[in-house]
Amino acid sequence: MASPVMPSSGALSPLGLDAVRLAPGFWGDRTALNRDVVIAHCREWMEREGWIGNFRGERPRRGREFSDSEIYKLLEAMAWADHPDLPELAAVVARAQESDGYLSTRWSQARYTDLEWGHELYCYGHLIQAGVARLRTHGEDELTGVVRRAADHVCDHFMDSTRTCGHPVVEMALVELYRATGVERYLEMARRFVERRGLPALGEISFGRAYFQDDMPVRQAQVFRGHAVRALYLASGAVDVAVETGDAELLKAVETQWERTVARRTHLTGGMGSRHTDESFGEDFELPPDRAYSETCASIASVMLSHRLLLATGDARYADLAERTLYNVIATSPALDGRSFFYANPLQVRVPAEPSEGVNHAAEGGLRSPWFDVSCCPNNIARTLASLPAYLASADGDGVRVHHHASGEIRHDGLTLRLETGYPWSGRVTAHVVEGRAARISLRVPSWAAGATLSHGGTSRPVEPGYATAEGDWRPGDRIDLDLPMQPRWTFPDRRVDAVRGCAAVERGPLVYCAESAGDEPPLARIAVDPAPPAEHHTDGAVELDVTARLTPAAEDTWPYRPDRPDLSDEDGERVTLRLVPYHRWGNRGPATMRVWLPLA
């Protein structure tokens, strides 16, 4: 079985990539695009930028100190996708490994001299994840040999150390390698890396220790903090360690941190991270739409974490956040043609961005870029989409639970379901039984879907958010229909989310919508909306929405703080129709302004 997360215990068990197959549709189209376009795009850019050449010994070395990890993320994507180029690229990597297992194109002459910023263990983490993917999809080969030698080297060097890496990821990678190989020292090494963090295990840096979660032990923290990707990778590793060692306290600690982070440090899209300066969470309720960092990689890390917590607990709230994040950040990053990407995913853009064809230095988020100086996001998208089917459904004892609705097929132990749906555009999900037996079949009812109904065997009943379960002795030809209410809905922020006070957003199904204004016409700074029911437009491949807005008078350019309250009377403002598009589709038609949160009239 091949799945990126394979815990040995938990409420739910993973289904492998071989057991979940996607048909054309929202996610099926994206995984096909990933296989056909994104993987090759990433490889081409890394050849062009010299990051692959570094492994061939080409000098001067090019790219950032962690560029090796990008090749490893791509190798992981290739492994999940069973891509024919993997052996050749793995051979290039193998050439650079030293006799004791050490492998870095950057630090070979200064091993482990800068654990705070060097990213050596971070790179091993991604290398190991690639190896785990290869082991599970193919079996032992040159790449897995490299990975085993590297993991053994890490254990030899760090098992009795007090130190760790400034950027977590090696923790979860080592647990998965233990799961894939049965070698217990990998688990013990991961456990020690998790436990020594915050004792502290690293030196002082100008951002402060919270940046890399070395300010306190993992099990003492109350909330995710510091660099968002680091925090979420570390939490994922902590869950993996907790599950494999039966450490209920550690698991509970991460659950508590997740809860508070979701309540106080998460954007409507599911995006995490508010500060550009250190790519960090920021304080509770510091959630600016315009400067939302909401890094693509943080959303990937968030889904990795929520999926782990879902498998461990079976609690639907983890699937709710994962769904939100998948549709509104992960699906947003790649352009519809798969050749450019958002690094940051802000919820408001005031000025149309200037197009540029080359490598993007700044990750501002006004337009997608083909590549970045720090290009974690495209490769991370590639490995995530390549393994996506494994996130969509789980085994629930001998039954099946579907977390994320998509057309395709699920097979589990003599039960085969063909899923048919227009989700997220339509709310009907049908599970056709192709191969049957007695089993419990559960379909997730998202938290927003009050009023859903489940129909099978000629009866229909209302179902609550969570999982709608149908039990029966299923026969080929049987079907289960889940109907989720898809009317657009207005959403308002808690009073504590200062940056979007007095605004509302529109959601429909799992999708967050936004106003996108090419050339800023109409000018989105002058829009004020009344939260009346939006009108739907079923366009080619998407549902767009119209809301009624007022175009407030153009203000003079004077001191913008005045004694008069800027309320609108009922007469003020020209009425205009404002077209809203799914947030994940914005920015595919050239430079535009955009806003998710719409000021109320």
Instruction: Select the span of 154-162, 264-272, 375-383, 434-442 touching a copy of itself (CB under 8 A).
Output: 264-272
Interface with a copy of itself in residues 240-259 (CB under 8 A): 259
> CB of residue 283 vs a copy of itself: minimum separation in angstroms?
5
521 touches a copy of itself by CB under 8 A: no
Contact between 285 and a copy of itself per CB under 8 A = yes
Cβ atoms of 62 and 56 within 8 Å: the answer is: no
Long-range CB contacts (< 8 A, 24+ apart) of 154-157?
154/101, 154/121, 154/124, 154/189, 155/185, 155/186, 155/189, 156/100, 156/101, 157/112
CB of 504 to a copy of itself, least distance (A): 8
Round to whole Å and give the CA distance between 518 and 275.
27
- Residue showing tokens 């890094």: 295
Chosen residue from 565, 570, 571, 575 binding a copy of itself by CB under 8 A: 565
Q: How many chain residues interact with a copy of itself (CB under 8 A)?
A: 63
Inter-CA distances, 383 with 167, 321, 554, Å: 19, 20, 47
Binding status of residue 283 toward a copy of itself by CB under 8 A = yes
Helices (H), 138-247: 142-158, 170-181, 184-196, 228-245
Interface with a copy of itself (CB under 8 A), residue from 103, 146, 367, 503: 503
Task: Decide whether 300 or 500 has the Cβ nearer to a copy of itself.
Answer: 500
Cα 478 from Cα 467, distance rounded (Å): 19
How many whole angstroms separate alpha carbon 421 and alpha carbon 416? 16
- Tokens encoding 87: 């052996």
Q: Strand, coil or helix: what is 193?
A: helix
Whole-angstrom CA distances from 356 to 83, 338, 366, 379 are 30, 17, 11, 20
Q: Is 260 in the site for a copy of itself (CB under 8 A)?
A: yes
Instruction: Tell me how far, at minimum, the Cβ of 263 lies from a copy of itself, in Å.
Output: 4
Touching a copy of itself, residues 365-404 (CB under 8 A)? 373
The DSSP-derived string for 230-246 is HHHHHHHHHHHHHHHHT
Min dist. Cβ of residue 279 to a copy of itself (A): 10
Member of 29, 207, 313, 591 binding a copy of itself (CB under 8 A): 207
Please say whether the beta carbons of 562 and 310 come within 8 A: no
Task: Identify residues 438-477 at the interface with a copy of itself (CB under 8 A).
Answer: 447
545 to 564: interface string for a copy of itself, x by CB under 8 A: -------x--xxxxxxxxxx
Nearer to a copy of itself, 96 or 359 (CB): 359
531 touching a copy of itself, by CB under 8 A: yes
Ranges within 43-62 binding a copy of itself (CB under 8 A)? none
For a copy of itself, which is the closer residue by CB, 38 or 376? Answer: 376
Residue 351 engages a copy of itself in binding (rule: CB under 8 A) = yes
Stretch that binds a copy of itself, among 37-45, 346-354, 391-399, 576-584 (CB under 8 A): 346-354
Locate all alpha helices (DSSP H) within 387-480, ordered by sequence: 389-392
Q: Using CB under 8 A, which of 499, 511, 514, 547 touches a copy of itself? A: 499
Q: Please report whether residue 501 would count as binding a copy of itself according to CB under 8 A.
A: yes
Q: Does 109 bind a copy of itself (CB under 8 A)?
A: no
Q: In a 3-state reduction of DSSP, which class is residue 117?
A: coil
Is residue 588 near a copy of itself by the rule CB under 8 A?
A: no
φ/ψ region of 458 (left if φ > 0, alpha if ψ in -120 to 50, else beta) reads left
Cβ atoms of 2 and 136 closer than 8 Å: yes
Considering the complex, state which of residue 338 and residue 346 has its C-beta at the smaller distance from a copy of itself.
Answer: 346
Q: Tell me the residue type at 162.
A: T
Tell me the β-bridge partners of 482: 429, 454
C-alpha distances in Å from residue 198, one per residue of 67, 193, 202, 242, 556: 26, 10, 8, 17, 53
Q: From 343, 353, 318, 308, select the one nearest 516 (Cα to Cα).
A: 353
**Of 306, 237, 226, residue with least CA distance to 273:** 226
Q: Kindly tell me which residue out of 491, 536, 551, 588 binds a copy of itself, with binding defined by CB under 8 A.
A: 491
**Interface with a copy of itself (CB under 8 A), residue from 263, 438, 518, 535:** 263
By CB under 8 A, residue 569 contacts a copy of itself: no
Residues forming contacts to a copy of itself in the complex (CB under 8 A) are: 206-208, 259-260, 262-264, 266, 268, 275-277, 283-286, 288-291, 348, 350-351, 361-362, 373, 447, 489-505, 525-526, 528, 531, 552, 555-566, 599
